[in-house]
A and B are shown apart, each in its own frame.
Chain A
Amino acid sequence: MTDDILKVSDLKAYYQMNYYGNNFEVRAVDGIDMSVRRGEVYGIAGESSSGKSSFVKVLAAAIRPPLRLVSGSVRYDFAGHPIDLATADARDIEAIRWKHLSYIMQGSMSVLNPVRRIGRTFEDFASRPLNLRGRAFRDRIVAHLERLKLPAEVLQAYPHELSGGMRQRVTIGLATVCHPEFILADEPTTALDVVVQKEVLKLLRDIQKEMGAAVIFVTHDMSVHANVADRVGIIYAGNLVEEGPTREMFSAPKHPYTAHLVASLPRIGDTAQRPALDGRPPNLAKPPPGCRFHPRCPLAVERCRREAPPLETVSPDHRTACWRWSEVAPLVDHGMRQEVVR
């Protein structure tokens, strides 16, 4: 069970717009190579306009103009249903939706129809893929909700009658009820309060373990990644700049950007001055030459301005795109100890 369920190679997806004579080509995803294994949680981190949400759109087969897939392939290896999104047509994609590939989105309200009871929404989504109806369908849903610690009564409720945490649990229920092999979770807990967020994350993690589904978990919040992801990939300016096992990414990052992201998380019990990274993420319509991080990078040298570094394997499972990766050191001691929060 170590084979890949998703393999993305040399993926390029650009926004192409023509607006009153101004031509824009925004290279939102510009040559990403990565893969996700069966049953793992792969965290994707990146800031706004880094291209991570465009990347997720491509993975979710939700490419709409002006976003266009320029080159590369996105291969899912579902049991009995291998598919390449770059060449698949609408029917193929419809066949894998929810049953093999499902989503948890940031705003639960975008999935839940505000004027339909939750039960009806479940019917809309899951009745056909599960091929169940009536009593049998209801029993299946109730059993599933029980796993999520939701009472059967929520099926009678309207979305606005539930709290934010409950709603997000319902969307997790919707995404997992068909036992998909792959789940795309896009900032699923960002709008929640801290305590609720932690509960929802735990639930998501538990049900993922139980079902053995692979998850791509997208959030800008590194502390969430620290707690849910097996591996983390960092996206900067349309490129994957580093990926590796979660623990290593925090204790021994090999890209200066990752080092900064990790170091800028303050911690209770520690008031050591945290470094701030200046500048702004580059405009993807005209990215800087060479390494796209060089204008903000403290380690940048002449070479970084000219040549873009390739993604290099630095230790098992750990790849980074930096000419000077061997000189990258953790910026602060991030207290990788077994702290007991109590």
Chain B
Amino acid sequence: MSTLLDVRNVSKRFTTGGMMNRRSVQAVEKAGFAMSAEMPEIFTIIGESGSGKTTLARMILGLEEPSEGEILVQEKRVDGRAGRASRLDFMANVQPVFQNPFEAFNPLKRIDRYLESTARRFLPDPDRATIEAAMDAALQKVGLSLAEVGGRFPHEMSGGQLQRAAIARALIPNPRLLIADEPVPMVDASLRMSIVNLLRSLRDDYGVSVIYITHDLATAYYISDRLMIMQRGRIVEIGPGHAVLDTPEHPYSRLLKAGVLSTADAGAGRLSIDPDIIAAAETLSRRPGRLEDRDDGRRVMVHGSAPNAAG
């Protein structure tokens, strides 16, 4: 089995402050996981703000250099400072979708400009006709068309349409892996599902693997094959999506699930969270631990010395 993406024991420290009060923040600590090249899947990274999920995504894209460990895409090391040719090679395989669709396109420029540039750069022999065909084909995959998008400015389209156009742009080089960093929250409620369903169809119909980064457990449950939960830079639980979210084991995973606002008892206003879970998640976040295998394929962080406080 060959790997599409291999994240090996990656850590990232940021140092802030001047000479007097130098502080270092551990954004990501010894993160490791792999994705197979044969089986396209949606792999979700769940975490709150400050969990390191975005830093991890930026490292996979080569926008940030890991402090320790390495990241391999199709057996080649990701290196943001490599020459232009090898970066373009990398971009042909891995493409990002950013968080804010209104920011993803230069507001002063036409949207199709980004699609055209991508096609011109990544297609083997780009002439006018093939470029337009590729743009249209990619837009068709996301439920748009060149006739709708061509010549339009970003402010003329909805957030949902823009996000889909951004995904279409990312699909033009036929990448194997799409990294979607919180692609949904900035999109209007009525249009969100169109994005989430699209990620699903990319996997099922076009064989693209997706790393979906979110803080929303409900959409994660809806589309993930596998997922991992990060707390302050550490992976606390990783495994099959449904198994982990149906019965989360680590206290922090359970806390996140308890934080989900349920619509099942609409109008009843049940908002309390068990304070024990909050306390357990908080204490364990400071304690060292290591990931242990479970029978259902998940791995959970167990913390040494004290017995599991989840009890």
Contacts and interface: CB of A to CB of B under 8 A. Distances in A.
A276 B261 CA distance: 21
B191 A339 contact: no
Interface string B179-211: 000000000111111101100000000000000
Given A194-B48, A198-B261, A277 B267 contact: no
Interface stretch (A87-95, A118-126, A329-337): A329-337
Interface stretch (A130-138, A140-148, A263-271, A302-310): A263-271
A341 B189 contact: no
Contacts of B193: 264, 266, 274-277
Contacts of B269: 205, 227-228
B238 to A, nearest CB: 17
B221 A277 contact: no
B260 interface: yes
Give 4 closest A-B pairs by Cβ, nearest first.
A280-B158, A247-B267, A202-B271, A276-B194
A157 to B, nearest CB: 19
A342 B258 contact: yes
Interface residues of A, number: 57
A14 interface: no
B266 A336 contact: yes
25 contacts: A45-B189, A194-B215, A194-B259, A197-B261, A202-B272, A223-B263, A226-B265, A227-B262, A228-B271, A247-B267, A266-B222, A267-B218, A267-B262, A269-B246, A271-B222, A274-B222, A277-B191, A277-B194, A280-B157, A280-B161, A280-B191, A336-B265, A339-B265, A341-B270, A342-B274
Interface in B136-161: 143, 157-161
Interface centre among B157, B218, B221, B271 (most CB of A within 10 A): B271
A257 interface: yes
A281 B260 contact: no
B273 A222 contact: no
Interface centre among A221, A230, A247, A267 (most CB of B within 10 A): A267
Interface centre among B143, B188, B242, B274 (most CB of A within 10 A): B188
Contacts of B191: 47, 276-277, 280
Given A266-B221, A276-B191, A276-B197, A195 B273 contact: yes
A250 B221 contact: no
Contacts of B260: 194, 268, 341
B264 interface: yes
A273 interface: yes
A264 B271 contact: no
Nearest to B216: A194
Nearest to A336: B264
Interface residues of B, number: 48
A220 B188 contact: yes
Given A47-B189, A269-B246, A276-B193, A223 B159 contact: no
Nearest to B192: A264
Contacts of B190: 47, 257, 260-261, 264, 277, 281
Nearest to A202: B271
Contacts of B197: 273-274, 276
Nearest to A257: B190
B8 interface: no
Contact of B188 (A47, A193, A202, A335): A47
Contacts of A281: 158, 188, 190
